[in-house]
Amino acid sequence: MAARTGFGLRAATGKFLDGLAAELAAAAEAEFRLTKPRDDGKTPRELGAVNELTFPAEVSYLLDVFFEIRRGAHGPITLRDIAAWAQLGDLEITKFSSDVILLLDEKFLRVQAEPIVQATKSIVGQLADIKQYEDSIRSGTRMASINPKKKP
């Protein structure tokens, strides 16, 4: 009976930690997007965007660890990078912590690989252009500024 109780506790703890890891990864990905410069050099954060997701306090320290390791990485973070970081500080790192750091790096690299956002128009301006273009199609006149291809 005691073994079942212990197993249930481990399973519940694992689910709890997995949930915290997922919350941290989502909040970190949002943060990565807010700090990625657009084509005009400004970040969404500089333009007033905010991260509405919160970093769970229980695991937020792993984001700091991630950034420390990321500073020295020249590509995707590996388990070897994590082990070297831990050895420098004479620290032990758990499998859970390693998994979270690797997940954060996956999110970071994915955001960095995405095309740079064009800053020429706001989303409101882009939506207005689309509506205007749709209206011009309905009326039979095409807008040169939206569709620059000329018919032969």
Q: What is the pLDDT of residue 123?
A: 55
pLDDT at 116: 81
Instruction: Write out pLDDT tens, residues 61-110.
Output: 999 999 999 998 889 999 999 999 999 999 999 999 999 999 999 999 99
Count of Cβ atoms closer than 10 Å to residue 115 Cβ: 6
Assess whether 94 and 42 both reside in one domain.
yes
128 shares a domain with 110: no
CA nearest to 119, candidates 37, 50, 49, 46? 37
Q: Does residue 86 share a domain with residue 30?
A: yes
Mean pLDDT taken over the chain: 78
Do 142 and 82 share a structural domain? no
Same domain, 67 and 135: no
The model carries a pTM of 0.69
Tens digits of per-residue pLDDT, 17-75?
888 999 999 999 999 998 999 888 888 888 888 888 889 999 999 999 999 999 988 89
One domain for residues 40 and 91 = yes
Instruction: Give yes or no: residues 99 and 151 share one domain.
Output: no
Please, which residues have CB within 8 angstroms of residue 43's CB and are 6 or more apart in sequence?
34, 35, 36, 37
Domain extent for 138:
121-152
For residues 10 and 68, state if they share a domain: yes
Same domain, 96 and 125: no
132 and 78 part of one domain: no
| Number of structural domains the chain divides into | 2
Residue 106 CA, chain-centre distance (Å), reads 9
Same domain, yes or no: 135 and 66: no
What pLDDT, on the 0 to 100 scale, is given for residue 114? 87
- Whether 16 and 90 map to the same domain: the answer is yes
pLDDT band for position 2 (cuts 50, 70, 90): very low
Per DSSP, the residues of 3-43 read: HHHHHHHHHHHHHHHHHHHHHHHHHHHHHHHHTS--TTS--
